[in-house]
Amino acid sequence: MKRTLGLISLALVASSAFAQNRNAIEVMLVAANPEAPAPTASWDTYKMVKDRLGIDLSFSMLPPGVDGDNKLGSLAAANDLPDLFEIRNRSLFFKLQEQGQLAPVESILSLMPKRTRARYSDKKRSVLVTVNGKVMGLQDPVNLSRQYGILIRQDWLDKLGLKAPTTLDEFLEVAKAFTERDPDGNGKKDTYGFGGVIDFDTAGILPGLGLGNHFQWVYGAYGVAGTWNYKAGNKFAANVKDPNYRKATEFIRKMVEAKVMDPDWATMKRSDLRTRWQQGKYGMFFESVGGLLAGYRNFDANNPKAEVRYILAPKGPGGKNATGTFASAGWLFAVSRKALDQGKGPAIAKFLEWANSGEGYNQLAWGKKGVHYNLVKGVPTVTTNNPSERGQYTQMRWLAMNGNTTELKGRYGPITSADGRTYNLYSDFLTVARKSPWIDRTGDLAVPSAPNQADIERYVSESMVQFVLGQRPLNDANWTSFLNGLRGVGFDQYEQNARSVLQKTGFIK
């Protein structure tokens, strides 16, 4: 027992010494590669950081979602937040700020000039983390936004003698042909025109209220994509109150009635969607560039000689189109008040500047050169066939990645099919999917959640599902009843707060 107590005491002393060493920093981030484990104690990045910067680095992984929020909350309650950490829940960010747990970061910005110039000099992003005139967080720009789009089976178009749709009406006609004319030639009616699910992924894209990301392009065709309209003064309102929001919902109802969508769409998960487009079930589907890259091998194996490509979002009756809404702000990092009080600001700045470019960037973002990647004409190109090992090695990559052209070329290079055809994923993504109109709604991140935010989101989403599935007839009486019901969940106050904050932060006049 004495030996055990002795070991515990030594460990506590060592831990305390680490915490108070101004050249020792503890970093806690959500795993960049959740499918891979945390780096081991022998991770050579630790030695590299010690040798190059004189810093003792400690890294641990934060659970995603609510578990991560709870962990940060517990650490804050014990006044034991890490020196530098990631925070994805903005409500929690402001709560920690109110509790005095976060440090203003202006003093370290000047110590990392390259990183500050590249990432923290945009006023619109800085205002998202500014409280009473002080910048309380490191708001990185998004390193991959607008990465989703509508993909179409070009080989099915060619077989049926069709052209890619450019309007909603054309979209429905093509979807009907993909559903009814046996485009895969197997003699069975087992294909659907469009594949999408109710999904609220927020990685570089803002889903808004209602049916989520995969149907924002329909609302965009009616000029009501996203949650707010961003109009000045009294014209500011939630898009859900706009008559065009109902028209967009009616179009989705029309797709359901025409049976051009997978009948399981309302209950499917994103993983189900991916399995089915890889099986060749859909002629058009909503997918990210990363999802396409990850699933292309299976798709190619199941559908030899098949060809997919991104198309522009179809236009609505008024000529408008938008794939969806996005924010220019990405990962948010915070420095604990405790770290700054212990004099660790310079070490944190030195480490972040190292991660921003050159050796540090490559080490964190791509792994070990010659093992995990090589530079091919200046473009980092992954060479390893062991994604788990590389994933473990690059768990801190979001501190480094920046979304520039070279990086995107490295992440999304050409794909070669089994029969030797090459699909330039990067080119298609940049020239079609990303150039399809998107609406910048960065200000949404400044809008505080309502006390009953989950109730509001559930009410709108479930109502839309009922309308498009026909469980609730989409007529004047029911739509009016739905709008009146918004008041019952406190929507007017939520809307009023949103307008006030967006005006105060300069996102609307």
| Domain annotation for the chain: domains and CATH numbers | 24-143+328-403 (3.40.190.10), 148-325+440-505 (3.40.190.10)
Q: What is the mean pLDDT of residues 224-241?
A: 94
**Confidence band (pLDDT; 50, 70, 90) for 439?**
very high
Who has greater pLDDT, 433 or 304? 304
Tokens in use for 416?
A: 């070669």
At residue 445, does pLDDT exceed 80? yes
Question: Who's near 18: CB < 8 A, 6+ residues apart?
Answer: 24, 26, 56, 58
Q: Are 226 and 208 in contact (CB under 8 A)?
A: yes
For residue range 187-214, list pLDDT tens digits in order.
999 999 999 999 988 777 888 899 999 9
**Confidence band (pLDDT; 50, 70, 90) for 1?**
very low
Least confident of 5-14, 292-301, 349-358, 411-420: 5-14
Torsion of CA 214, 216, 219, 221, to 10 degrees: -90
Q: Which residues sit opposite 150 in a β-bridge?
A: 286, 311
3-class secondary structure per residue, 21-80: CCCEEEEEEECCCCCCCCCCCCCHHHHHHHHHHCCEEEEEEECCHHHHHHHHHHHHHCCC
For residue range 454-486, list pLDDT tens digits in order.
999 999 999 999 999 999 999 999 999 999 999
For residue range 309-328, list pLDDT tens digits in order.
999 999 999 999 999 999 99
Q: What is the mean pLDDT of residues 241-263?
A: 98
Element at 118 (helix H, strand E): helix 113-119
Element at 91 (helix H, strand E): helix 90-98
Report the alpha-carbon distance of residue 303 to residue 289 in Å, rounded.
Answer: 19
Report the alpha-carbon distance of residue 235 to residue 229 in Å, rounded.
Answer: 8
At residue 375, does pLDDT exceed 50? yes
Q: Are 156 and 309 in contact (CB under 8 A)?
A: no
CA separation, residue 492 to residues 59, 430, 453, 489 (Å): 44, 39, 12, 9
Question: What three-state secondary structure class fits 308?
Answer: strand
For residue 26, which of 34, 16, 35, 36 has the smallest C-alpha distance?
A: 16
Question: Who's near 157: CB < 8 A, 6+ residues apart?
Answer: 163, 164, 174
Q: What is the bridge-based pairing of β-strands 148-153 and 308-311?
A: antiparallel
Most confident of 2-11, 150-159, 432-441: 150-159
Mean pLDDT of all residues belonging to the chain: 92
pLDDT at position 62 is 94
For residue range 291-300, list pLDDT tens digits in order.
898 899 999 9
Query: How many helices and strands, by DSSP H and E, does the chain display?
Result: 22, 17
Q: What is the pTM of this model?
A: 0.87
Q: Are 365 and 407 in contact (CB under 8 A)?
A: yes
Cα dihedral sign, 362-364-366-370:
positive
Report the alpha-carbon distance of residue 299 to residue 278 in Å, rounded.
Answer: 4
**Distance of alpha carbon 326 from the chain centroid:** 9
Q: Are 216 and 207 in contact (CB under 8 A)?
A: yes
Element at 330 (helix H, strand E): strand 329-335
Element at 338 (helix H, strand E): helix 337-341
Least confident of 56-65, 67-76, 141-150, 348-357: 141-150
pLDDT at position 499 is 96
N-term to C-term CA, the chain: 68
At residue 33, does pLDDT exceed 90? no
